[in-house]
Each structure stands twice: as C-alpha cells, then as structure tokens.
Chains A and B, each alone.
Chain A
Amino acid sequence: MCGIVGYIGFRQGDQVVISSLKRLEYRGYDSWGYAVANGKEIEIKKKVGSISAVEVKEKRAEGVTVSIGHTRWATHGKPSDINAHPHTDCDEEIAVVHNGIITNFSSLKNELISEGHIFRSETDTEVIPHLIERCYKDSKSFEEAVIKAIKFLKGSYAFVALKKDEKKLIACKYKSPLILGVGDGELIFASDVPAILEYTNRVIYLNDGDIVIAEPGKYRIINERGEVVRDIELIHWSIEDAEKSGYEHFMLKEINENPRVIEDTLGEYVTDKIELDPSFAAGISEIVIVACGTSYHAGLIGKYVIEKLAGIPVRVEYASEYNYHQIIPGRSLILGITQSGETADTLEALRAAKRMGLRTCSIVNVVGSTATKISDHVLFTRAGPEISVAATKSFIAQLIVLYIIAIKLSPLTRQEKKELIEELKSLPEKVQRILDKQHDIDEIAKKLSNFENIMYIGRGLGFPTALEGALKMKEISYIHAEGYPAGELKHGPFALLGENTPVVAVINRDETYEIMLNNIKEVKARESLVIAVSDDKDEEVDNFVDFAIKTPETLPILSPILHSVAFQLLAYFTARIRGCEIDKPRNLAKSVTVE
C-alpha cells in the first residue's frame, strides 16, 4: 500500500500535495516525495521518513500549478531516498508516482536497460516513466505516450504522471485505488478520499482501465473503448471519518480489510503453486518460533499446522522468555514473527540466535524494519499499515504466510497441495461472508458485554484460536478473558465457572469435535452461558450452546482464520458497547520497542 496524489489548479502545488499526503499516511509512511512541473524542468524532492513533519513554505501561487506526490510503504526496494517516489525517465522530463505492483517489472527493466535507459532505483515503478519516455518518441502527445506505455504493464497500478513542460496530469488506474476530486477550477487525484476533502467533496471513483487526462479546470476520461463519462459522487464524511473510510474505528476498518489482505498476501507467494524458495529451511531439524502477543498466537497456530502438514517439530517461545531457555545450537531455524519488525524482545531473540550461529527467518509486515535487516531471510505479510493497536489483519496475514510455509515444506502430493491452495484462495470470499453478517456478532456481543470474566476454550487448533480470541477481548474491552485448552478445564478452572462466567468455545469439525461437545455439556452443567463458534454446516452444536457464531465451512485445518475473524468482530463489538477507547486501549502501544 502506498498513497499517491496529483494536483492541477490554482493553489500552491507542493503545499497541496504535502498536506494531502499527510491524510494518506495510514497507507504508508516510510518515505515521501513530490514533483512540481514548472514549465522548464521538474523540481523533485524526496526523502526517507514520515511525511507528517514536512512543511513547505507558503508563497502566493501564480497561475496554474502541476504537481504529484507520494507516501511510500515499501514493497520492492527498501525505504531510501532513491527508492522514494516520484521516479523519472532518463532526462528527468517525465515524473511518475505509483501505487501497486508491476509484476513484470524485472523483464521490462532488463529490456529498457538493454535499450540504454538508465535506472536509478530498485523499484518496480521506475519502469513506468522509462516506458513513457520510450513511447513518447513516436507519439504525438504526452497522453498518447502514456496510453502506449501502459500496454506493456502487468500487475496493478494507480499512477499519475506529469511532464516538465505541460500543464497536464495523466492518471491511469488498474486494480489499485484511484479517485479524482473535481473542485472549482482545480482537480486532484488521490488514492483515497481523505486526501481531497480539504479541496472538494465531489469525487469520481475511477474504474479499472480508466485513463484520465487532466488539464486546468477540465478533464477527460478514456478507456479502451473510447471516451467515457463517470458519475460524480458527493462525500458527506468529515476528513477524520474519511481516514477510516467511514468506519467508526480503525480496528473495524482493518477487520474489514481482511479479505483484501489475504488476497494480497497469497498473491505474493502463490500462483497455481507456491512460489517460495525453500532454501531458508533446507536441512533443518526443528523450527523455533519466537514472537510476542498476537504474533505469538499466530506462531502457536503455525506449530499445529507445520507439524501436521510438514512433519517438522516446532517449538513456540515467547520472545521475552527465549533468552532464559537453553537452546542447543544445531540445525534449528529461528523464525521470528513481528508485525512492525521492531518488537524489542523478538529482535533480541533473533540477535541471540544469530550469535549462537543459528539460522534466522522473520515474518514481518514493515519493509525495511530492523527485523528485515538482522534476519537471514524475510517473508513479508501484505497487510499494509495497521493503525489500531489491537492487531487484526496483520495476524490473519501472518497465518497465511505460516500456512504457505507449511504447505511448501510438506511432503504432500501435488494434488493434495493444490486442494489446500484452492481452499486458501476461497478464504477472502468466506471472510467477506462473515463480515457481511457482522450484525449477528454485534447481537451476541450485547450478551457478553455485561460480564467481567470470559473463558475461551478450544482443542487442537481451536486452543491457540481461543488464546487469541481471549487476548483480543481483554486488550480492547478490558474484560478479563482467558484462553484455556478445553481438556484442562477440569484441572482447575472449573472452579471459576458458573452463571457469572460465560464460555466461548471454538468448535472444529475434526478429530476434536465429539469431545469438544462433551466438554461443552460439562460447562453447561455449571450454568455458564456458552457461545460457540463453528461452521455453518454444523447443526448439532445448536443443541448444546446458548448462541452459535457460524462461519462458512472450510477445511478444518484452515478454520482458525475464519474463527479468528469472528473473534476480532466479537471483541470489537463488545468493546464498543462498553464504550472503550478501541483504537488506542489504555496502557498499550502499537509496537513494543522496549524489552
């Protein structure tokens, strides 16, 4: 995810671009840049770091200004001044800001280099200005060159291009978001609505394949069939609401992004087979996962999955406890899981492993973070920036990567792997079905919100799912929630049960099913309210519980993903009913950078 902006109008362009980009910071904040075409040349400024502190000097704008800007969330190439957008052609006559991934960039880049083009960055984006430069040689106009250039591109893109001597912006959209704000005598392109609301609330949501030619006070939209007309929509959100896409909280917005996150993360590693170089795990005897908090729970689910599919022993350690264990150096792979890549305890565990000569690998969401620099190998999740302190979509993305590792390292037949991959690919749609019925979960949250203790129980894969469900609940709703293996209840926690302690049970339709129903019967006998999460083909469970959250049926091994999304919503709605500060729970920080 990145944020892009393009402006043509009467205001001071660099200022518009900078202040609009600040509204897109949630889309990326590792580096920023902007370009202004002043008629003679392109002035470019770009830098590593967050845009939030950047200010430009105010001067009275004279005539029409043309500018573009970008705030980056690195995918190809680490965050650096050079990799920051905008990118230009060889002679710095054309500049481009881009959001998306050009999948065929390396072949295009080689081709362009062989034709004599000079590349400066490691980004996929840079092929775009060079392609436009190449096409411009035999085109009559700037827009013709852009239209020719995009025919070479594969992947996803929303980009805005300018040329040093033209009062014009050209924007193209394909599978990445781009909107056009239609102001009075000014036009502004952006990745999302918050960036434009300062200037206009009249918006065109561009379609895939749309090319917009924007000139002072007027615009044309064309696609492959010719000129098209798109409706202007009115946005009544405040700027603050718009940053959350109209959702009440970032957490709810991010939970609702789960389908796209699964798709993007799968897209990173899976075509019709798994595209992952297994050498990072070659010859290992065991995997030791080190992580904290929600990432630790992802690791626990990973343990069940990797052991089951790949037959490799997995230990999961709290990163903060890892240093107190005696790990015998050997053929272990230390696998760190950290969303931010900056979690102090996880970094320390990775460093300690390194000192002992162990191989390390990290699952990380933030490109360029410390974990990516100190690990031998890095696997990225594609969750995009996560603003809410409670991890949701990044957890789901971590699970996806762990499933991919397990499938890749497993001795399953090609056909068996294919079935798993097909089912993984169906998850975005299944998660969407849960989201579409979130109102039902809100109703159940109403039952839970009055209690001060909740017990989450599960067996097998259901156990770590219960742990994560309980963590979500306690961190944002401040209800004391505890995850427990269902079979361990009678070894102690039974004493806590009763009508004041509801139980949330994870039901998985695998070898644990019958015995879980038995456990629920025992719980029910203690008069606890029981809420189950199970799949929508499971009718029997209704006879045993007070309420059931039904998720779409999937392979039992993949069920933690769907159950976890349901638990995220359950925690969210419970916290909302209780009036909690959801995005920033008391005493907690997004990434814990101290031990």
Chain B
Amino acid sequence: MQAVILAAGEGTRMRPLTFTRPKVVLPIANRPILEHLFFSLKDAEINRVVLVVGYRDETIRDHFGEAWNGIEVEYANQRRQLGTADALKSASHLLEEEFLMMNGDAIVGAEDIRKIAERSGFALAVKEVPNPEEFGVVECEGRLVRNIVEKPEKPKSNLINAGIYRFSKEILEFVEKTPQSIRGEYEITTSIKMAIESGIEFEAVEIDEWIDIGFPWDLLKANSFFLSKIESRIDGEVEEGAHLIGDIIVGEGSVVKSGSYIEGPAVIGKNCKIGPNCYIRPSTSIGDGCHIGAAVEIKNSIIMNGTKIPHLSYLGDSIIGEKCNFGAGTKIANLRLDDKNIMVNVKNRVIDTRLRKFGAVVGDNVRTGINVTINVGTMIGDNVFIAPGAKVDGYVERNSKVF
C-alpha cells in the first residue's frame, strides 16, 4: 500500500533547531524523526511512500533518496505550506486508488499502521488522551466519525485526531472544494467533514503507540523512549578503564577513552572522541563526529553531529545543534532554585514546559567562550557567538553575538 507523508513544513515551534532543517529530520536516538516512522511503515508492509516536501527539502532527499530499505520513495513539492489539504493536492498526480496519509512529525507504531491500512474505504486514526482540548477532538457514533472539532473548550470525547488517514482517491473531489480555514490554510479535516456530510463513512480506528512531537522538549521524551528500546552494540573502540553500564551503542570509528563512565541507555554515533574521564548519563544521544572531552557531564540530552564539548562542561536536559563548539567550562543549568516549572520563549510566546528540569536549546554552529553560563530554558539561534564569561538567558536571535 501507499503512504503519503506530509513533510513540507518547517515546524516553527521547533526553532531555533529548524532554522537550518525541517522538523522531520531532527534526530531522536540518532535517527531523523521521519526515519522512525519509516521503520514502522516497513514493518507494516507499506512499500511506496510519497513524501510531500518543501522547506529545506534537500535534507530529506539526501537522507532517503529514491528508495529506503526497500520502500520506494517519491517526492511531491509543496513550496508554500498552505495546509494539509493543499499538501495532499500537490501529491495528487502520484496517488494510488487507495492510500494512507500521515504527518511526518509524529511517530506511529507498525501495528497501528497495519490496523488502519487493513480497513477498507475511509478511516481515521484516533487516540485517547487526557488533554483532548489541545487537539482536534473526534466525535463518533459507534465506529463512525461524526465530526472533528479543533481545540474545543468542552470536548465531547477524549479521542483526538492522530492525523493518520486512510483515503480513496475520491477524497480529492472534496480537497479541491475545500475552502480556506480561519487560520488561512486548506485543512484536510475540512475536506473530511465535507466528505462525511455528503454521506461518506469514515471509520474511527483507535491506535496505541503515537508520539506527537510539538516542542523541543518533546524531542527529549521521544529520545528517551527510543533509547529505552536499544540493545548494546559496540562497533567502535572502548579502551580499558572505560565503564559502560546498561545498553549503549558505540558507532564505527568512535573511541571511548579510559576513565569515561557511561550509563545507558545511550547512543554514540560514528567517529566520535569520548573521554577520557567524562560522565555520560542515561537518555543521551550523541551524533556523528562529536567530541566529548575530559570532565564533561551530560545527561538526558541530544547532541547533534560535529559538535564539540571538549573540557569541563555540564549539560543536562538540553538539545545542542550541529557543529557547535563549547569553550572550556561552558555550563547549562537545568533546574530552577525555586523548583518551579521551566518557562521557555517559543515564537515570542512564553510557554510552560511543565518540566521541572529542562536545560537549553542551542541551534547549529554556536560557539561559546570559556566559562559561559547558560540559564534554564534558554533558546539560542544558529551561528551565535558567546563571549567568555557571559551569562545567557531567554531567547538569543540567530547570527548574533553575546557579550
């Protein structure tokens, strides 16, 4: 069966990480979000994928090419992100008679995909959640969908739309007639409601494993979830005197030097230099070509490719982009002294992470001088220089210098 995956948006809530790449290629356990979805698709025997791409699509094309592990990959261009219905329209010339459609930034289990693929006609995946008012709520009559209400104040059910659909090509007739929503987008849920009104039956299929990734800290949760499933594999070199405890992957060409103490689950990419004498704590993913040096402690974090944290640093509950270089003694705080939730500035809006421990989100190519202090909940854009001894807080614009 064919799956259409929407991967054209930037994912602006993931800034600063998405200034340089689309959200769907952000790494979780050293694999792009989208690749986790591809594994599920493969296990569910989906053999043809249409990726609807747009923003910085070269990163997606470079990773998946024209085929991935036996799945044929085709691309449709959606240069302007005008909504999910518009995205489907831009792939309309590649569609089979029946197909699945899903978002590229949510990860679904293979069994769940299989469940919905095995239905006939039209279906829509629903998921039970405790906070339905933050999603599109699905109202059902028996197994059939009656309505979808976006973020209702008083939800009539706790089933939400998981954004996974089974369609036949007939849906295009409704997609073409879909008017713009109040948000100014052409939304597939509007098309679906129009189809239901005209008498088409949509079956609601409840799914279990669904990881929706909205904000940067959701990446850490997903990272921790996928790391919990790994099994140890050492393809690189581990020197005598290094301690590896729990499930740990060490990639090809990487060296873990003596005195390093690593508590799994953790994954270390290819060609990394780890240690000597560093402390890597659970739920940490370190990309390819990284250097984690002496007296560095890292906990529950994602460090992307090519980043160097060589001396005397602490970072916890943080996400660090590619090709960053931290000066000796750079530290990221992850806990407020008053123990309150960490607040973060996303898209110029202050958001409660509902986390007691959260560090910083650092874009690509950020360089810090020695003894830089980064406060909890700090967002740092890409290409930022931070002078020695500076204290950084709040939101730092991309390409800026901090003194």
A contact residues vs B (CB 8 Å cutoff): 10-11, 58, 60-61, 183-185, 197-201, 234, 236, 239
Contact = CB atoms under 8 A, between A and B. Distances in A.
Interface string B41-68: 0000000000000001110000000000
Nearest to A63: B93
Contacts of B80: 198, 239
Nearest to A200: B77
A199 B77 contact: yes
Contacts of B75: 184
Contacts of A239: 79-80
B213 interface: no
Contacts of B94: 185
A201 B176 contact: no
B58 A184 contact: no
B304 interface: no
Given A58-B176, A201-B57, A184 B76 contact: yes
Given A58-B176, A201-B57, A234-B58, A10 B77 contact: no
Contacts of B172: 60
A197 B79 contact: yes
Given A61-B93, A199-B79, A234-B58, 7 more contacts: A60-B176, A183-B77, A184-B77, A185-B94, A200-B79, A201-B57, A236-B56
Contacts of B56: 236
B230 to A, nearest CB: 34
Interface string B73-88: 0111101100000000
Interface residues of B, number: 13
Contacts of B93: 10-11, 61, 185
Interface of B: 56-58, 74-77, 79-80, 93-94, 172, 176
A51 B56 CA distance: 31
B79 A201 contact: yes
B172 to A, nearest CB: 8
Contacts of A199: 77, 79
10 contacts: A58-B176, A184-B74, A184-B75, A184-B76, A185-B94, A198-B80, A199-B77, A199-B79, A234-B58, A236-B56
Contacts of A198: 79-80
Contacts of A58: 176
A61 B76 CA distance: 16
A580 B61 CA distance: 41
A52 to B, nearest CB: 19
A239 B54 CA distance: 13
A58 B93 CA distance: 15
B395 to A, nearest CB: 22
A239 B82 CA distance: 14
A248 to B, nearest CB: 15
Nearest to A199: B77
Query: Which 7 residue pairs are nearest across A and B when measured between Cβ atoms?
Result: A10-B93, A184-B75, A198-B79, A200-B77, A184-B77, A183-B77, A234-B58
A200 B78 CA distance: 8
A243 to B, nearest CB: 14
Interface residue SS majority, chain A? loop
A61 B74 CA distance: 19
A55 B24 CA distance: 36
A550 B24 CA distance: 51
A201 B74 CA distance: 17
A183 B56 CA distance: 14
A185 B80 CA distance: 18
Contacts of A201: 57, 79
A162 B74 CA distance: 28
A197 B78 CA distance: 10
Nearest to A181: B77
A198 B80 CA distance: 7
A10 B77 CA distance: 12
A58 B57 CA distance: 27
A82 to B, nearest CB: 35
A218 to B, nearest CB: 14
B239 to A, nearest CB: 42
A192 to B, nearest CB: 16
Nearest to A196: B79
Contacts of A61: 93
A201 B94 CA distance: 20
Contacts of B79: 197-201, 239
Most chain A CB inside 10 Å of its own CB: which residue of B57, B77, B80, B172: B77
A236 B58 CA distance: 11
B73 to A, nearest CB: 11
Nearest to B51: A184
A10 B92 CA distance: 10
Nearest to A201: B79
A184 B74 CA distance: 8
A217 to B, nearest CB: 11
A197 B55 CA distance: 11
A333 to B, nearest CB: 53
A234 B94 CA distance: 24
Contacts of B74: 184
B93 to A, nearest CB: 4
A185 B77 CA distance: 10
A180 to B, nearest CB: 15
A199 B75 CA distance: 12
Contacts of A185: 93-94
Nearest to A236: B56
Contacts of B77: 183-184, 199-200
Nearest to B94: A185
A185 B91 CA distance: 11
A412 to B, nearest CB: 55
A239 B172 CA distance: 27
A61 B89 CA distance: 12
A239 B79 CA distance: 9
A453 to B, nearest CB: 34
Nearest to B172: A60
A61 B92 CA distance: 10
Contacts of A183: 77
Nearest to A202: B58
A90 B196 CA distance: 54
Nearest to B57: A201
A484 to B, nearest CB: 42
A201 B54 CA distance: 9
Nearest to B52: A184
B67 to A, nearest CB: 15
Nearest to B54: A201
B81 to A, nearest CB: 12
A481 to B, nearest CB: 33
Contacts of A60: 172, 176
A10 B74 CA distance: 14
A436 B57 CA distance: 33
B142 to A, nearest CB: 34
Contacts of A234: 58
A234 B79 CA distance: 13
Of A11, A185, A197, A239, the most chain B CB neighbours within 10 A belong to A185
A198 B176 CA distance: 18
A197 B80 CA distance: 9
A201 B176 CA distance: 25
Nearest to B53: A184
A200 B79 CA distance: 7
A239 B81 CA distance: 13
Nearest to A61: B93
A14 to B, nearest CB: 17
A114 B246 CA distance: 90
Contacts of B176: 58, 60
A234 B76 CA distance: 16
A379 B58 CA distance: 49
A378 B298 CA distance: 76
A278 B199 CA distance: 78
A236 B57 CA distance: 10
A11 B90 CA distance: 9
B335 to A, nearest CB: 38
B49 to A, nearest CB: 13
Contacts of B58: 234
A58 B74 CA distance: 25
